[in-house]
Structure 1
Amino acid sequence: MARRPRPAAEGDVLRRQQLLRVRGHSLAWVPPLLMLAGIALIDFYTAGEFRMITWVVLVPGIAAAICGVRGTAGFAVLALLTYVLADSSYPTWYRSGLADFLLVGIGGALAVLACVVRVRGERHMLHMHDVADTTRRTVLRPLPPDWGGLDHAAVYLASDVEARVGGDFYDVQQGLHGTRVLVGDVQGKGLDAVEAAAALLGTFREAGYHEALGTVAERLELRMLRHSRHLAALGRDDGDRFATAVLIGFPDDASGVVDVVVFGHEPPLAVGPEGVRRLPVGTGLPLGLGELSADGPPPVQRVPLAGTETLLLTTDGVTEARDADGAFYPLATEVARAVAADPRAAEPRRLVAHVRDGTLRHSGGRLADDTTVFAVRRSLPGTGRKGRSPS
C-alpha cells in the first residue's frame, strides 16, 4: 500500500529527528553549543562594544526548537553562566547589571517552557500517526503475495492527510467457492467513513469465505442497511450513508471467466497486451440503497477474462481527478497508451504504479477525494510474485 505524503508538521518532525542524528546518536546539541561558543569569543575580543545580551538569549531559544527538555534546560543554565562569567571579567564600567542578568534568566526559562510544549505536541502527533497506521492496517489489512492464487497490487491515498485513512476499502478473500475481491468507496470522508468501511469489510471477510457470490452481495447490502439504522438509532446525522463497490469472484471451476457484481461503482477495466476494455456489466444501486430497488441486489454477471488480462479498479480519487483547467484524468486513454508502449505495463504492480503517478501528476498532487487503485489477475503459471505493492 502506498502512503500519502505526511502532513507538513509531522514530516518536519521526522525529518528533523533524522537530520540531527548520526549513527543513532543525537547531534541536536551541536548548533546551540557552537553559537554559544561563538558569542563568547566575539564578546571576549570586542570587550564591551559587543552587546552580548542581544545574542546570548537566542541560545536556549535555538535549543528549544531542536533539543529535548533536559538539553534546553542545560543550555539555559549554560547561557546564564556564560553571561555571568563574561560580564564579571570586564572592569566595572562594562558590566550590564542585574536587569540584563534577569533577562537572560527569564529568556532561558521561557525557552524551557516552549520546549516542553513542543515536545508534548510532537509526542502527541507521532502517537496519532501510530494510531492511524494501526487503524489502516486493521481496515486495509496487508495482503500476502499471490494470495488466493491472485497476483494483485494496491495503492491507497487518503485525501484527509491528517486522518491518513478514509472511506475507500479493498480486500481479497479466498474461500470455499474460489477467491473474491471487494473494492469500494464509502460516501463521505473521515473516521465516520472508515467505520462504515470496516463494517463492510468484516462482513465480506466472513461471508466471502463461506457463501456463494450472490449471497455475499446480499449480506453486504444487509450489513450496510444495519449499519445505517444503528447510526440513526444513536442520533447521528450520518445514518443515510451509502457505498459504491465492485464484488468480483474468481471461481475455481472456470479459469477463463470472472463473476462480477457492481453496486453503483465504475465497472472494472480489463487491461492486457491487446489493449484496454471496459467489462460489459450492468450496475445496480450502491450498498445501503437497495431498499429503493424492487429487484433486490444487482445480479451476478459472468464475463470472460483472459489469463493475461488484469482487472483495474479505481475509486473517485482517480476518475474525478482534475488538472488546472478542470479536465478529468483520462484513465482508459492513459492506460491504453502505456500498454501499447510496453505490454508489461499490464502487470498489476506496474499498472498500479502508472495510474498512481499519472493521477498525482494530472492533479498536481491535490486529491479531492480518497484514492484507491487496485489491480488483480490470476497468477500466471510459474510466476509467483515476490514483491509487495508499490510504495
Structure 2
Amino acid sequence: MSPATTGHALPEPYPTAGPGDVMERQKLLRVGGRSVSWVPPLLLLVAIAVADYNTTGEFRIISWIVLVPGIAAALCGVWGTAVFAVLSMGAYTVVDNAWPHQFQAGLPDFILVALGGVLATAACAVRVRGERRALHMRDVTDTVRRTVLRPLPPGWGGLEHAGVYLTADAQARVGGDFYDIQPGPHGTRVFVGDVQGKGLGAVETAAVLLGTFREAGFHEEDLAVVADRLEARMVRHRAYTTALGRADGDRFATAVLLSFPADEDDAVDTVVFGHEPPLAVGPSGVRRLPVAGGLPLGYRDLAPGSLPVRRVRLGLDETLLVVTDGVTEARDREGHFFQVAEEVRRAVAADPRLMAPGRLVLVVRDGTLRHCRGHLADDTTVFAVRRGRDTGAGGRDTGVERGEGGRSPL
C-alpha cells in the first residue's frame, strides 16, 4: 500500500470542491498537462465505423457504437459524454444509410444507440456527483488533519524539528497519532503521542489532548502541572463519552511530554505516559533517555500522584527522536519487530549528517516501510527535535509566530 504522509509545511489553502473543478482534478488521462480522456471513446467510434464499412452486409457491427458513450461516461465529463452520445447517433445514421436498404440495421438499433447515449450521460452525471462529494469529504478530512496536526513553522520555539505521519489506511489521511510544539514564557514544550484505537473517536481524543497541551504548555511553569492537566482532561473526556453511551469510554493515550527550559541550553525535562522513552541521537551514538515510563493518560487512578519529571542532560548536537508504536511494532515476513535504535545507529555511523531532524525522520520512515514492506498495521508517527543552532535559550519564542517563510526539511 502507499501510506499517506504529512510533514511540517507551512499552511497552504486547499482548493474547494466546486462543480467547475471536479473533472479537472479527477482526469484519468493527461499528457503534457492536458486532458486526453476524449481520445479512447473517439478512437472506438472511428474503429467501429471503419470496421463496419469493411465487413460484409450480413455482419453489421455498427450497433456496437452504443459502447462509445458508455466509455465516455467513465472517462469524460457530463458534456463530453453527451457530445459522444450525439456523435454516436450521427455516425450510426451516416454509416447505416451508406449501405443498401437490405443490409441496413434500421430503426431498432438506432433507438438502442440513442437510449444508450441517454443512459450513459445520466450515469456520468451520477459519477461526477460522487466525485464532487468525495472531494468535499477529502477537504473536510484535510481540515481535520490540519487541526490535529497543525503545520509547524521552521524554527518554531527555537527548535529544529521534523515529523512524518503515516496512516495505516492511505485514504483516511488522519488518525489517533499526534504531535505539537508550544513555545511559552517558561520554555518550549513538545507533546507526541498515540491515542488507543482508530476512527473518529481517536481523532477527537487527540484534538482534546492537544487543545489542553497548547494552553497548559504555554501558561504553566511546572511541567508536572501540565502533565496533571492532561491527565484530568483525559479523564473528563472519557466521562463525557461514557455519558453519551459510546463504547470508547475506556480509551487511553500514550505520550511523551518534553520541555526545553528557557534558562538551560543543555537540558530537557521529560514526562512519559506509558510510551517508549525518546532516543537521543548524537555523535557518540544512540541512547535511550533514562526516564520512567508512567501509566498512559487516563489511568492515573491506578497509581495516584503526579508523574515524576526527569531532567536529562543533552549534548548540543543531540537530536531527540520520538516514535509511536506504528514504528516499534512494524513486523517483517518472519514476524520480527523493527529495531529502530539499531537502524538509526547504523545510519548515523555511516553518515553523521543524518542526525539532523529532517534527515533522521526520513531514515526511520524508510526503514519502517522497508521492514514491513509498506504494510503498516497502525498509524505511524516519527518526530525529531533539537535546539536550534542559531537560537539559544534566551532567544526563544514566547508564543508569537515569527514571520518566517519557506518550508521545513520535509
Partners of 1:84 and 1:300 lie apart in 2 by 84
Counterpart of 1:104 in 2: which secondary structure? helix
Q: CA deviation at 1:98?
A: 2.4
Partner of 2:184: 175
Among 323, 333, 349, which residue is 1:324 paired with?
Answer: 333
Partners of 1:355 and 1:386 lie apart in 2 by 24
Partner of 1:9: none
Partners of 2:274 and 2:117 lie apart in 1 by 62
Partner of 1:10: none
Among 298, 315, 334, which residue is 1:306 paired with?
Answer: 315
**Structure-2 change in CA distance of 1:223 and 1:3 (3 Å):** same
Among 181, 191, 199, which residue is 2:208 paired with?
Answer: 199
Among 71, 96, 99, which residue is 1:87 paired with?
Answer: 96
Among 37, 41, 49, which residue is 1:40 paired with?
Answer: 49
**Structure-2 change in CA distance of 1:357 and 1:15 (3 Å):** farther
For CA contacts below 8 A with separation 6 or more, give which structure has more relative contact order: 2
Among 328, 344, 347, which residue is 2:356 paired with?
Answer: 347
Alignment of 1:154-193 (within 5 A): 154-193=163-202
Counterpart of 1:298 in 2: which secondary structure? coil
Provide Cα deviations, 1:255-297, integer angstroms capped at 9, x if missing partner.
1110000000000000011100000010111001111112x23
**Structure-2 change in CA distance of 1:279 and 1:334 (3 Å):** same
**Structure-2 change in CA distance of 1:5 and 1:247 (3 Å):** closer
Partner of 2:4: 4
Moved more, 49-58 or 329-338: 49-58
Q: CA deviation at 1:54?
A: 4.7
Partner of 2:71: 62
Partner of 2:267: 257
Moved more, 320-329 or 98-107: 98-107
Alignment of 1:371-382 (within 5 A): 371-381=380-390
The letter of the residue matching 2:291 is: V
Partners of 2:199 and 2:191 lie apart in 1 by 20
Identity %: 63
Contact 2:29 2:37 in 1 (8 A): no
The letter of the residue matching 1:4 is: A
Partner of 1:290: 300
Partners of 1:92 and 1:202 lie apart in 2 by 79
**Structure-2 change in CA distance of 1:370 and 1:31 (3 Å):** same
Q: CA deviation at 1:100?
A: 1.4
- Confirm whether residue 211 of structure 1 aligns to residue 220 of structure 2: yes
Partner of 2:247: 237
**Structure-2 change in CA distance of 1:361 and 1:163 (3 Å):** same
Provide Cα deviations, 1:96-150, integer angstroms capped at 9, x if missing partner.
1222122212222221222122212211222111111111011100000000000
Partner of 1:388: 408
Among 114, 120, 129, which residue is 1:111 paired with?
Answer: 120
Provide Cα deviations, 1:292-330, integer angstroms capped at 9, x if missing partner.
112x23111101111100000000100000011101001
Among 19, 27, 47, which residue is 1:17 paired with?
Answer: 27
Please report the RMSD computed on the Cα atoms of aligned residues, expressed in angstroms: 2.2
Counterpart of 1:160 in 2: which secondary structure? coil
Contact 2:60 2:105 in 1 (8 A): no
* Structure 1 alignment gaps of length 5 or more: 7-12
Partners of 2:175 and 2:249 lie apart in 1 by 17
Moved more, 117-126 or 216-225: 117-126
- TM-score, reference length from structure 1: 0.92
Provide Cα deviations, 1:28-54, integer angstroms capped at 9, x if missing partner.
223212321232233334463552335
Contact 1:80 1:104 in 2 (8 A): yes
Counterpart of 2:57 in 1: which secondary structure? helix
Among 347, 363, 367, which residue is 1:338 paired with?
Answer: 347
The letter of the residue matching 1:192 is: G
Moved more, 167-176 or 109-118: 109-118
Counterpart of 1:172 in 2: which secondary structure? strand
Aligned length: 381
Contact 1:167 1:186 in 2 (8 A): yes
Partner of 2:283: 273
The letter of the residue matching 2:278 is: P
Partners of 1:39 and 1:5 lie apart in 2 by 45
